[in-house]
Amino acid sequence: MPVSTHDLYTEPVDKSTWHVPMAGDTRFTWEYDDGRDRLLALYQKGKDKQWDSEKRIDWDLEVDPHNALGVPDQSLAIYGTKYWDMLSAQEIGELRRHSVSWQFSQFVHGEQGAMITAARIVESVPDLDSKFYSATQAMDEARHVEIFSRFLQEKIGMVYPINTKLQELLNETLGDSRWDMPYLGMQVLIEGLALAAFGVIRDITTQPLPKQILAYVMQDEARHVAFGRLALRDYYRQLSAAELKEREDFVIEGCHLMRDRIRGREIWTNFGIDPKEVDHLVENSPYMKMFQSLLFSRIVPCVKDIGLWSERVQRAYDDMGVLDMSKADLEALMGQDEEIAEKLDAERFAAEEAGRRAEVDAVIAAEASV
């Protein structure tokens, strides 16, 4: 009998659903012919690139839940501190498990938020081409929720509740009545940070299953961020200075929430360590500094591209130490995401084909020797 996800949470969570009040209008359009070529091309790509996680991902690959990513322990904020020295080898393995569980749990909660937000965009956005693409994104996000939840349940055996900072940003994103705010909160901030986090882990993990999962999810996510850029760049050119300032305030607050989210305070509480002290360790950890900087590699250039680039926004990013990320080439990064997924497919399926040929050759050789 399948284990309930509620039985795998590190602490009890409310078994009722989280209710976010509906906000804004539902918009129909009677114009079925007009559309922006680049958005329609993205919609076509969204249709062409649908895939089945049961067939594309090799779920038979074994995962050690106490070393699921195979990354150096320096990635853990307390490495080399007095807290690290107090842990046994078994406890270090358990810490690795909690760390991966926390990270992938936030991925699955964020992907559910993205699925719901995509559905909200279909409902509220005025343009048919945007409705078309958002419908394909809702399917993508459903697949991502399926994949991350399966990884947590079958391979890690532990789930963390949604981080309060992520929940706060989701609430603000979905609770705003203006149709562009789900784009800004989800497509630019939450998806942009998730995409960068996926990329860091994809590139450093030595384990094949998480590498497959993240490479294939990133292939979808690159399209989603491109969608947000295209839709908002057009719309924000029409807004007044006061309206743009409201969006900039939202971006600045959202980025601070995203920065605070990655500290993983819930993990340290479970190990009896004062989260405030770990905040200091996180801020001074060379690995975490690098990780935080890379996390904004997709958000900062996207915010600049859509036109929310006042001195206030630049000053906020400078204070966070990520202003230089505005120089990142989003098109090149997304092209790389596509290439990595396709290369991984080619290598995997070429190896499988070689294995099948070897089996056939062995059967032929055995029959010939009889």
Token pair listed for 285: 């950890």
Tell me the three state secondary structure of residue 25: coil
CATH number of 123's domain: 1.10.620.20
Query: How far apart are alpha carbons 189 and 184 in whole angstroms?
Result: 7
Indicate the number of domains in the chain.
Answer: 1
Tell me if 29 is assigned to some domain.
no
Token pair listed for 258: 């995203």
Task: Give me the domain span that covers residue 93.
Answer: 5-12+37-333
Q: For residue range 172-217, what is the model confidence (pLDDT) as tens digits? A: 888 888 989 988 998 889 888 888 889 999 999 999 999 999 999 9
Specify the range with the lowest mean pLDDT, choosing from 99-103, 238-242, 250-254, 258-262. 258-262
Give residue 353's pLDDT.
61
**pLDDT of 349 above 90:** no
Tell me if 244 is assigned to some domain.
yes
Q: For residue range 322-347, what is the model confidence (pLDDT) as tens digits? A: 999 999 898 898 889 999 999 999 98
Tell me if 18 is assigned to some domain.
no
Q: For residue range 9-37, what is the model confidence (pLDDT) as tens digits? A: 888 887 767 877 777 788 787 776 766 78
Give yes or no for a contact between 325 and 297, defined as CB atoms under 8 angstroms apart: yes
Tell me if 342 is assigned to some domain.
no
HSE-up of 246 (CA within 13 Å, CB side)? Answer: 9
Q: Which residue has the higher pLDDT, 278 or 326?
A: 326
Query: How far apart are alpha carbons 194 and 297 in whole angstroms?
Result: 11
Q: For residue range 72-119, what is the model confidence (pLDDT) as tens digits? A: 998 888 898 899 999 999 999 999 999 999 999 999 999 999 999 999
Q: How far is CA 369 from CA 215, 225, 355, 359, in A?
A: 45, 59, 21, 16
Tell me if 26 is assigned to some domain.
no
Give residue 222's pLDDT.
82
The whole model's pTM is what? Answer: 0.87
Query: How far apart are alpha carbons 11 and 272 in whole angstroms?
Result: 14
Tell me if 317 is assigned to some domain.
yes
Query: How far apart are alpha carbons 73 and 92 in whole angstroms?
Result: 9
Tell me if 356 is assigned to some domain.
no
Give residue 306's pLDDT.
94
Give yes or no for a contact between 238 and 225, defined as CB atoms under 8 angstroms apart: no
Tell me if 217 is assigned to some domain.
yes
Tell me the three state secondary structure of residue 238: coil
**pLDDT of 321 above 90:** no
pLDDT tier, 355 (very low <50, low <70, confident <90, very high otherwise): low
Q: For residue range 282-317, what is the model confidence (pLDDT) as tens digits? A: 777 777 777 777 888 889 999 999 999 999 999 999
**pLDDT of 367 above 80:** no
**pLDDT of 129 above 90:** no
Backbone angles phi, psi at 159, to 5 degrees: -135, 140
Give yes or no for a contact between 219 and 345, defined as CB atoms under 8 angstroms apart: no
